[in-house]
Amino acid sequence: MPTLQNGQPFPELKLSAVGGGMLSLPGDLAGSYGIVLIYRGSWCPYCNAQLAAFSRAQGALEEVNARVVALSVDDEATTAALVEKRRLGFPIGHSADAAAVAAAVGAYTNPDPLYLESTGFVLAPDGTVLTAVYSSGAIGRLVPDDVLGFLAYIQSHG
């Protein structure tokens, strides 16, 4: 389970999306900076805070041409309830295959119950990894202010 390194292409992931349809990564983010948030589950207070913070920051992220997607192993009903509760305005994938996602992106997993640990990626408009944040537990994750500062730096230093 090697981690993704800066400059590597983000692997193809396809997931069912809340509200129907599919999330296709990195393709759905092509042409924009992409923020991919893998969260532990709707039960995790740190994940709830992270997702809500990115939702609140959506306007600022759009100003720097960045789009957010998130995913977890939660089923569709659980994920839809989280989207409604936190008023999340970005695409959320549900029912992720933890082993397959971990194998593709190098995310840590919790064995029992099986879920993906918090993992975050910032992608260039061409789908390559600009930075990756891997957590082996409850804390350690991307936050909107860091992502906005990082993207401002990249865009000003082209």
55 contacts: CB under 8 Å, gap ≥ 6: 86, 87, 88, 89, 90
Domain ranges, ordered by start, for the chain: 13-156
Paired strand residues for 23: 15
Whole-structure pTM value: 0.97
- Homologous superfamily of the 13-156 domain (CATH): Glutaredoxin (3.40.30.10)
- What's the pLDDT tens digit per position in 77-121? 999 999 999 999 999 999 999 999 999 999 999 999 999 999 999
- What's the pLDDT tens digit per position in 17-65? 999 999 999 999 999 999 999 999 999 999 999 999 999 999 999 999 9
- What's the pLDDT tens digit per position in 78-89? 999 999 999 999
**Structure confidence at residue 158 as a pLDDT band (50, 70, 90):** confident
